[in-house]
Amino acid sequence: MLDFEEVQKHNTKDDCWVVIHGKAYDVSKFIDEHPGGSAIILKYAGKDATKVFDPVHPPDTLEKYLGKEFHLGEVKMPEKTPKKEYDDDPDEPPSQEELQRRLNIANMPDLAQIYNLNDFEFVARYTMNKIAWAYYLSGCDDEITLRENHLAFHRVFFKPKVLVDVTNVDLRTKMLGTEVELPFYITATALGKLGHPEGERVLARSAGKQGVIQMIPTLASCLFDEIVDESLPDQTQWFQLYVNKDRKVCREIVEHAERRGMKGLFITVDAPQLGRREKDMRSKNFEDLSHVQGDDEEADRSQGAARAILSFIDTALQWSDLEWFRSITKMPLVLKGVQRIDDALKADEMGIDGIVLSNHGGRQLEFSPPPLELLIELMPILKKRGLKMEVYLDGGVRRATDVLKALCLGAKGVGIGRPFLYAMSTYGDEGVYKAIQVLRDEMIMCMRLMGATKISDLDESMIDVRRREVVEDKLFGKVYEELESPAFKLKL
């Protein structure tokens, strides 16, 4: 067993050890390959980096990607571990911003005061740490796509029926052949532990209790098996896949997901490279490290918390690769991130089981079409050709009315991401449960007011898409945080 004092001696770029969960690792040869640059590793050279490692890495990261020869063994930590760089320093008391955040947490509204999904976002804005908030919140470039995803729903109106017996409302439906209690699902979002210590396991528990499908992300903070183990025996889960350059690794991931009972494989097709997310970049996750040796000129500074997590993605993924996926799994195949009609039609012609109209929550290509706008144009064409695949949608959903509009226009189901992260980050299990319940209650009310008693009643006759002028959503505007400009080192 190594002494911690020995670890502390290895604190340079050429000789760099770090401690994670009581074990030492020699990362000297990995430093220059790290997608986030060497500075972030060197800041914790010779120190315990567990606290900063955990939120942005699945637990098996070191086992998978760092050779066994660099695993140095367990470390005998001192009874009183030296103060870490990221802990509060008694000589440098917490900033006013951090003190205010702690005060906000102590005085959060009771969960009973949360009436809609925007309320969760409002509370999260003032209680989450800056890094996590910026990562979850950020969109690409000027965030026009992010905002338009939501505003598109406000350009569509209902045509409700009256004098209909709406005593009993049934929200059950089928998605990819599985009967579910509600026509929406918790879509895949990365790095759940940034918002809550138990990360995606919280989402799994709450989804299972209310019969909602959870899509498990490739880039979860928790191990895939940990999330599945948290689910109920009859709970339906899907798996979202970022395709690995190494087909052997990719196959192992897919086959393991199928063995663990995943009911759908959602292949992400809109992220060969990360979009430029400036809120994330300004989040101070990788603060000024000019004091660290080396210029670190090769670091990719195009992202904050997000920048180092997608270096393994296959940028050469093509349509022809889809047949390979068919050959290795019996799970339904769904393409997540379709953004144009001809791609949707091609997927249908190839016999793909489904598509998700999505622009990655406005985090990838700026000026991508809002998924709802694409749905309006696509569904008449698909129906005319004889609809064979299922069409899903995600991005910008904040109300049950948003879900119902998509269903009326032909979507099979609707994915919701950020609101459940905000609910998890602020109120934990109870928050996610409440968020689902809020949507359920809204949906029952809206179905009654529309004159519909079951999901199959919803169709294009109940929707008006003619008034697609720009509108303003004051509640969304209240929780939306504007982009920042660069800060001067001294106040002007």
For 126-150, what is each residue's pLDDT tens digit? 999 888 898 899 889 889 999 999 9
Residue 294 is predicted with a pLDDT of 40
For 192-225, what is each residue's pLDDT tens digit? 999 999 999 999 999 999 999 999 999 898 999 9
Lowest mean pLDDT among 8-22, 42-56, 454-468: 42-56
Question: Mean of the per-residue pLDDT values for the chain?
Answer: 87
Residue 286 is predicted with a pLDDT of 43
Angle (CA) 37 41 47, round 5°: 175
Confidence of residue 383 (pLDDT cuts 50, 70, 90): very high
pLDDT at 38 over 70: no
Lowest mean pLDDT among 277-286, 309-318, 379-388, 394-403: 277-286
Residue 469 is predicted with a pLDDT of 63
Q: Which residues are catalytic?
A: 242, 270, 360
Q: In terms of pLDDT, which residue wins out, 430 or 364?
A: 430
Residue 273 is predicted with a pLDDT of 81
Residue 43 is predicted with a pLDDT of 82
Residue 488 is predicted with a pLDDT of 45
Residue 80 is predicted with a pLDDT of 60
Q: In terms of pLDDT, which residue wins out, 112 or 42?
A: 112
Q: CATH topology for 2-76?
A: Flavocytochrome B2; Chain A, domain 1 (3.10.120)
Confidence of residue 41 (pLDDT cuts 50, 70, 90): confident
Lowest mean pLDDT among 39-48, 298-307, 375-384, 424-433: 298-307
What percent of the chain shows pLDDT beyond 70? 86
Residue 37 is predicted with a pLDDT of 54
Q: Region 434-456: what's the mean pLDDT?
A: 98
Residue 308 is predicted with a pLDDT of 47
Question: Could you tell me which of 191, 206, 193, 185 has the C-alpha nearest to residue 138?
Answer: 191
Q: In terms of pLDDT, which residue wins out, 487 or 387?
A: 387
Confidence of residue 470 (pLDDT cuts 50, 70, 90): low
Residue 87 is predicted with a pLDDT of 45
Q: Where are the domains of the chain?
A: 2-76, 118-273+310-479
pLDDT at 81 over 70: no
Confidence of residue 89 (pLDDT cuts 50, 70, 90): very low
Of the candidate CATH numbers 3.30.450.20, 3.30.300.130, 1.20.1530.20, 3.20.20.70, the domain formed by 118-273+310-479 belongs to 3.20.20.70
Distance of CA 144 to the CA centre of its chain: 19
Question: Could you tell me which of 256, 243, 365, 255 has the C-alpha nearest to residue 312?
Answer: 243
Burial class (CB within 10 angstroms; exposed 0-12, middle 13-18, buried 19+) of 206? buried
pLDDT at 475 over 70: no
Angle (CA) 155 275 146, round 5°: 20
Residue 485 is predicted with a pLDDT of 54
Confidence of residue 283 (pLDDT cuts 50, 70, 90): low
Lowest mean pLDDT among 124-138, 149-163, 419-433: 124-138
Question: Could you tell me which of 22, 11, 10, 25 has the C-alpha nearest to residue 63?
Answer: 25
Q: Region 353-368: what's the mean pLDDT?
A: 94
